[in-house]
Amino acid sequence: MNDGRRHGSLVVIGAGPVGMVSALLLRERFDQVVVLERQSKERFLETRGFTFPIVLSPAAGSVLGRVGAWDAINAERSPYFGVVVHKRVLGRDLRWTARRADVYSHWRNHIVAALHDRLVEEGIEVVFGARLESIDFESRVCTIAGDTEIPYDLLLGADGMHSQTRSLMASDHPEHGADAFATEALDRWYAYRVPSVGEIDELYGNAADGVALHVHVDNLPHAPNEKLRVVTVGMTSPEREVSVVIKHGQEVTLDRLKELNAAFFGPLVDDGVLDDEWRVGVGGEYQHVMAPTFGRGAALLVGDAAHGFEGNGDLINLGIGSIAALPKLLDEYDDIRQVVSRYDETVGSSLRDYSSFAMRRSREKINFEVAMYEGGALLGINGHHPSFWGIYEEGFEIGPYMARYHRIRRRNKVVVGAIGLMSVLALSRMFGKSLR
């Protein structure tokens, strides 16, 4: 525990998981902590609306334990055994399973509710309906809708993919151009959930060793030219349900997507139930954020905004795990600007590094790299790829892990190059002998 509150006021923009964990984790280092959330309280705490499963990593679970929220979050969890990838080849559905022991899946809205309860218990103020309008980085004052000015000693922007903090920070940044803060549209998505009963339960919700994330790649034989990917997660708590996310190309209309969804899930779910749940679903767009974190003065952009490929909460895990570096830095430095600068040079640099290959994986450009890396993990010669099971390893820290990733990547390139060279030499000898 910190011996004294050495700093004045902490303002957190965004009451998502990363924002609330930040407020709880740093509350003992500041005299005043306030969280600003743009949504209304009713919308924020909505339980049936759009949500999605998150598989929390050991590192994130450790931080959630430090802020006193882990027991409440773990009270509703679903056993989870890994990822099952389905790929249609020559008319057959082939499967590849990657297993992971001792991990569990949680609904995001339950995590949010548990963290909000902890904020209330600690007396941390949450201002709902607080839309950020401006930040004066020199005077350390932010302004929300209604021209209300709020001074800060440290400002943390944890307001997600459509971050107003990012937009304001990008404006005339002293070190980085606006392109460093850019986003790029990937694909669109539509999400809903259905009761896990009957045939859909047998396929996605009734495994003996828990549920899994199923990824169906190009698996509609009657529509082979449609760019479509179906991702399901079976959940057992608080009730049996299957979460469905359909990732699709920009050219696929919502009406066409509904037809494809009916073709895929119609044989598994009653038509009336499927229609009802589809109507209350939510759609959106995958936006990849080039740089999920940056510092400017005494303001720091944090969070889980490097969206893209089908992770299952991996970026929220990174956000929660990486913010855990701040308490030690706040204890080491009296000047908040030094804290922000040091965080940006270390943790921030590693997160931006992670984001760069998350983008390449979103575009499916590093499948061979992931396969090589995971092959080494099976042989016990290296850990898992960071974008696969890597962040779920015990003791995960983003900085050391990314350094190790680059060492292994360089080694694998040398191995592949050596194998290629030996193959060329062997073929040359073979053809040389045949020509003689």
The angle that helices 367-379 and 398-435 make with each other, rounded to 10 degrees, is: 100
Phi, psi of 354 (to 5 degrees): -60, -45
Among 36, 68, 27, 34, residue whose Cα is nearest residue 330: 27
Whether 96 has a pLDDT exceeding 90, the answer reads no
Whether 306 has a pLDDT exceeding 90, the answer reads no
Please name the amino acid found at residue 4: G
pLDDT digits (tens, 9 = 90+) for 29-82: 999 999 999 999 988 887 656 678 888 888 899 999 999 999 999 999 998 888
The angle that helices 349-362 and 314-323 make with each other, rounded to 10 degrees, is: 180
Q: What are the DSSP calls for 299-328, one per residue? A: EEE-SS----S--SSHHHHHHHHHHTTHHH
CB-based contacts of 40: which residues, under 8 Å, 6+ apart? 128, 129
pLDDT of residue 1: 43
Phi, psi of 246 (to 5 degrees): -110, 120
pLDDT of residue 319: 86
Q: What are the DSSP calls for 370-386, one per residue? A: HHHHHHHHHHTSS---T
Whether 224 has a pLDDT exceeding 80, the answer reads no
Highest-confidence range of 19-28, 386-395, 423-432, by mean pLDDT? 19-28
What are the strands of the beta sheet with 53-55, ordered from one edge? 53-55, 92-107, 78-89, 211-217, 228-235, 241-248, 183-195, 282-289
Whether 3 has a pLDDT exceeding 60, the answer reads no
Whether 210 has a pLDDT exceeding 90, the answer reads no
pLDDT digits (tens, 9 = 90+) for 105-120: 899 889 999 999 999 9
Assign 419 a pLDDT band (cuts: 50, 70, 90). confident
Cα-to-chain-centroid distance, residue 123: 28
CB-based contacts of 176: which residues, under 8 Å, 6+ apart? 170, 291, 294
Whether 307 has a pLDDT exceeding 50, the answer reads no
Highest-confidence range of 46-60, 109-123, 231-245, 374-388, by mean pLDDT? 109-123
DSSP letter assigned to residue 142: E
The set of long-range contacts for 341-349, using a CB threshold of 8 Å and a minimum separation of 24, is 341/295, 343/295, 343/300, 344/293, 344/294, 344/295, 344/300, 346/399, 347/293, 347/322, 347/398, 347/399, 348/293, 348/294, 348/295, 349/399
The residue whose two tokens read 């952009």 is 301
Of residues 422 and 360, the one with the higher pLDDT is 422
CA–CA separation, 353 and 54 (whole Å)? 23
Work out the number of other CB atoms within 10 angstroms of the CB of residue 71: 10
CA–CA separation, 393 and 379 (whole Å)? 16
Give, in order, the Cα–Cα distances in Å from 305 to each of 90, 138, 275.
37, 25, 31
Mean pLDDT of 393-422: 80
For the chain, give the percent of residues with pLDDT over 90: 39
Give, in order, the Cα–Cα distances in Å from 145 to each of 38, 124, 401, 420.
10, 21, 41, 61
CB-based contacts of 388: which residues, under 8 Å, 6+ apart? 98, 370, 373, 374
Which token pair is 392? 């779920």
pLDDT of residue 423: 81
